[in-house]
Structure 1
Amino acid sequence: MISHNMTWISYPSKNLAFTSPEEIEALIASQNIISRLMHCYIALFVPTGLIAGICILIIFIKNYLQFKVIENLDLLLLHFTISNIIMIFFSFTVIPRPDYLKATHFTCKILSFFFNLSYFTSQYLLILMLLIILLERFPPRTALRKATQSPILCVGFVLIYAFCLSLTETVLLGTDNYHLETDCQLDPLFAWPEYEIIKFTFGFGIPSFLQIACFTVLFAKEAPAEAPALQQHIRTYLAVVPISVTIFICHLFYSIMLLFRTTFKLQKSIGTPKNELMMNIAEIVLFCDSCASLIFVLCFHKPCKDGMLKVIRNCKKENTTNSHLEIPVTSTNHESRSQ
């Protein structure tokens, strides 16, 4: 592997020594856009996503304590929820935008490692969920079914795989200037070009191919006669469908922007303020996907939806009981005053 000297690279917004008035106007406009998007994300998506994630955790833990058993899909969704909650916490690094988080190279690499660990974990947990849905409809008579019946083993494999990928990505950030302060993104600008290529391949290309393959088999292959209707089968695992669609769209946009950044690095160019704006937008879109995925799990996964409806019904019942108790007391007081 060839070591790269990335000391020359910087953000276009930080390189304004000799710029024209038009470029300055474009920079101001792009900074206004990213600042507004950041405020919308922090005000709307973050609270909603965190509340949804906490509700999912409470419902799964409560169900486990009550029934002493957890379904395979529920266990995967539990780990998927934890990964996305961690992603939301990492998204707080966008708060300084249009500026960037100030950190040393070493600290930035540590943040990038744990961010990538959550990123890869959530991607491949989704593949496991799709595989379980597929094998429930087309049960095989091989060791593959035994493997999927042990979700803890599958989750452990995904975590080890994600750890190795994250460690590889950290190596591709280089070892120079570890003590110097820099403008830090979770996918650092000073990363070698191979960093973005590997992240695109293993963080989007391979998972997306597997997602498409699973859905193709699910919709195109004829199921056994004893299998339920396709609509009923999908309705049972409804939460996984919108999660798959949003992850594909948001990660596609983000991955394409990463590849564009790689082309600039290979051309020894820092790009324009517009390129920087698009990369920042793609990063926020990626974090919005984590929030949206948690909302989909809460609203469409049956145990979570039933748990939320039960809480709402109990609240309504308590309000109704309290209102009925207050009415006779009020009427008695009124009668006593009249006498």
Structure 2
Amino acid sequence: MISHNMTWISYPSKNWVFSSPEEIEAFIASQNIISRLMHCYIAFFVPTGLIAGICILIIFIKNYLQLKAIENLLLHFTISNIIMIFFSFTVIPRPDYLKATYFTCKILSFFFNLSYFNSQHLLILMLLIILLEKFPPRSALSKATQSPILCVGFVLIYAFCLSLTETVLLGTDNSHLETYCQLDPLFAWPEYEIIKLTFGFGIPSFLQIVCFTVLFAKEASAEAPALQLRIRTYLAVVPISITIFICRLFYSVMILFRTTFKLQKSIGTPKNELTMNIAEIVLFCESCASLVFVLCFHKPCKDEILKVIQKCKKENTTNNHLEIPVTSMNHESGSQ
């Protein structure tokens, strides 16, 4: 493992020496790409994700007393993803970076990681609840998962411990100095990325695969229709799981590449930096997409939205019917 003194590291775009006009053109092109991706994300994904998240919150809070255990987890999952979207505003300066002190950057990183780990493990808990519905409710694990406060509390404590560990691995040097800040800071020790890869993607993804494997095995059993009904009820979990896996796989691979550069005492190239920035935006797009999937596929949310649409259609139809007699009366009075 290399020395924990990370003062030597910097972004390639800030210190790269260009040896040919072609390299300069490639650099400008990469800067344009990340800038356009950022504008697309802010213009389309952020409003869509926030609107979906607000709608979900309104629906769940309105029916809070009737929420099942898994819907309580979906409520907290929604809150975590909304927080992630707000943290994504740090990409607005791209292709440049947010300027902040090392201390401020560490604080931002802590709360970002708290939401990152929290949303991932809430999803695993939701899959576990769907799976445990197949087993007798008298089992200790089944009873524990039916307590929303216990489930959310456990996940929050676990996510808090992981986030605190990650913050410690950012070091304590230069706290008052200003730096270029990402939510996963460039100046983090190599262990930071390794722990994030292991506990933020590797282990959770393995648990998701295990849960889905057991669910599909149960679906092939004699009582498959009952399980299919439950899966349709919680259909949002399937696209969310797939989206999280794909987006976080890409992000985790880029994080791993960044670690290898640190171990080699290399800052990489502008192309590597571009890919890492793209992976960061893809990660934030996942939070927006997850909220849209909850709104569109989770049955109570979908039913509530359909009710609102039908109500609006009825009101428009009623208003149109009321306007016709008034218009005809005006024509009659004019003819007289």
TM > 0.5: yes
- Secondary structure, aligned partner of 1:10: coil
Asked if 1:209 corresponds to 2:203, the answer is no
Matches within 5 A, 1:292-331: 292-331=289-328
User: Which amino acid is the alignment partner of residue 11 of structure 1?
Assistant: Y
Contact 1:137 1:227 in 2 (8 A): no
Counting only pairs closer than 5 Å after superposition, residues 11-90 of structure 1 correspond to structure 2 as 11-17=11-17, 19-64=19-64, 68-90=65-87
The aligned counterpart of 1:10 is 10
CA distance in 2, matches of 1:315, 1:178: 55
Deviation at 1:26, TM superposition (A): 1.9
Partner of 1:228, secondary structure, is: helix
**Are 1:177 and 2:179 counterparts?**
no
Structure 1 residues 327 and 119: alpha-carbon distance in aligned structure 2, compared to 1, 3 A threshold: same
**In structure 1, which of residues 115, 119, 124 is the aligned counterpart of residue 112 of structure 2?**
115
Q: 5 Å matches for 1:94-133?
A: 94-133=91-130
Counterpart amino acid of residue 40 in structure 2 = C
Are the aligned partners of 2:30 and 2:274 in contact in 1 as well (CA < 8 Å)?
Answer: yes
Partner of 1:243: 240
Alpha carbons of structure 1 residues 15 and 217: separation in structure 2 relative to 1, 3 Å: same
Structure 1 position 259 matched with structure 2 position 256: yes
Alignment identity in percent?
A: 88
Gaps of 5+ in 2: none
* Aligned-residue offset at 1:231: 3.0
Which letter does structure 1 place at the counterpart of 2:12? P
Question: Matched residue of 1:206: which SS?
Answer: helix
**What is the deviation of 1:232?**
2.6
The Cα shift of 1:22 comes to: 2.9
Q: Does 1:287 align with 2:289?
A: no
**Corresponding residue for residue 161 of structure 1:** 158
Normalising to structure 1: TM-score of the pair?
A: 0.96
Task: Describe the superposition over 1:213-246 as per-residue Cα deviations: whole angstroms up to 9, x where unpaired.
Answer: 0001111246775563443332121000000000
SS in 1 for 2:184: coil
- The answer to whether 1:278 aligns with 2:275 is yes
Deviates further, 21-30 or 73-82: 21-30
TM-score by length of 2: 0.97
Q: Letter of the aligned partner of 2:329 in structure 1?
A: T
What secondary structure is seen at the aligned counterpart in 2 of 1:125? Answer: helix
Aligned-partner Cα distance in 1 for 2:13–2:24: 9
Q: Distance in 2 between matches of 1:92 and 1:152?
A: 30
Separation in 2, partners of 1:157, 1:19: 54
Checking the alignment, whether the CA contact within 8 Å between 1:138 and 1:224 is kept in structure 2 is: no
- Per-residue deviation at 1:16? 3.2
Q: What do residues 76-103 of structure 1 show as CA deviations (whole Å, max 9, x unaligned)?
A: 0000000000000000000000000010
In the alignment, structure 1 segments of 5+ residues that lack a partner are none
One-letter code aligned to 1:58 = I
Per-residue CA deviations over 1:111-134 (Å, capped at 9, x if unaligned) read 000000000000000000000010
Listed one character per residue, the Cα deviations across residues 35-68 of structure 1 (whole Å, up to 9, x for unaligned) are: 010010000000000000000000111122xxx3
- Paired with 1:265 and 1:2, the residues of 2 have a C-alpha distance of 8
Q: Which amino acid aligns with 2:9?
A: I
2:7 partner letter:
T
